[in-house]
Amino acid sequence: MESITSIEDYQKQLDSESAVLVYFSHERCNVCKVLKPKVAELLHQNFPKIKQLYCNTELSPEIAGAHSVFAVPTLLIYFEGRETFRFSRNIGLGELEAALERPYKLYFQP
């Protein structure tokens, strides 16, 4: 996952990519540390065209605040620059995969 540290870079990624997943967490979150590689692997295996970004909420609180992220882990998924899904705290990989399947197919498969 590519780290994002400014609101400008965040918006630039949303404007330039068709699909983006932003993983919000911080270093003190043990659940986040376990979940992050699992989410990255799920996207790599099943949804490779979704751009993966990471935002450390302690280092970049302005990004978290601007997007109403107040708990970690939080995942924001965007399609064509619009927030399509938001998952926070208790995130199941099966639930995430099921949510992404349909929009991913509509955007990326003929």
Contact 39, 21 (CB under 8 A): yes
pLDDT in tens, 95-109: 999 999 999 999 987
Residue 102 has a CB neighbour count (10 Å cut-off) of 9
Query: Which domains are present in the chain?
Result: 2-108 (3.40.30.10)
> How confident is the model at residue 109, as a pLDDT?
79
For the chain, residues with pLDDT lower than 50 are none
The C-alpha angle 94, 41, 89, rounded to 5 degrees, equals: 50
Contact 17, 80 (CB under 8 A): no
